Amino acid sequence: GESVGLHLPTLSVQEGDNSIINCAYSNSASDYFIWYKQESGKGPQFIIDIRSNMDKRQGQRVTVLLNKTVKHLSLQIAATQPGDSAVYFCAENSGGYQKVTFGTGTKLQVIP
């Protein structure tokens, strides 16, 4: 498949370890944040979201943390598996479907 991010920051993690992927957002008016996973040659896939009135949300093996004070978002993946290898990027929504801004992404490499 084709790489969609040639110069992305890369996080290498041993299989079974936890992964933490960070994202700084820009708009203090953003009220909704989403994490997407994009595997090579595929479209982005929704992982988890969080509203600005929350600071933590948990899903299956994933947790998103939101720090509005420093405009920082993180995605934690527990017990990282080879199938988690992908590019992860955050998106912020400042209101309405046309006001979604996507980050450039972080490449997660899982070492077996």
Partner 1 sequence: NAGVTQTPKFQVLKTGQSMTLQCAQDMNHNSMYWYRQDPGMGLRLIYYSASEGTTDKGEVPNGYNVSRLNKREFSLRLESAAPSQTSVYFCASSRPTGGVYEQYFGPGTRLTVT
Q: Which of 46, 59, 67, 111 is in the footprint of partner 1 by CB under 8 A? A: 46
* Footprint on residues 72-91 left by partner 1 (CB under 8 A): 89, 91
Select from 19, 18, 22, 27 the least CA-distant residue to 9: 22
SS3 state at 14:
strand
- Smallest separation, CB 92 to partner 1 (Å): 10
- Smallest separation, CB 72 to partner 1 (Å): 17
Give Cβ neighbours of residue 108 (< 8 Å, ≥ 6 apart). 10, 11, 13, 19, 21, 77, 80, 84, 85, 86, 87, 88
48 binds partner 1 (CB under 8 A): no
The binding track of 92-111 with respect to partner 1, each residue x by CB under 8 A or -, is -x---xx-xxxxxx------
Closer Cβ to partner 1, 21 or 80, answer by number:
21
Residue labelled with tokens 């400042």: 94
- Smallest separation, CB 58 to partner 1 (Å): 18
What number of other Cβ atoms are within 10 A of residue 21's Cβ?
Answer: 22
Structure tokens at 26: 């820009």
Which residues of this chain interact with partner 1, rule CB under 8 A? 2-8, 32, 34, 41-46, 49, 51, 89, 91, 93, 97-98, 100-105
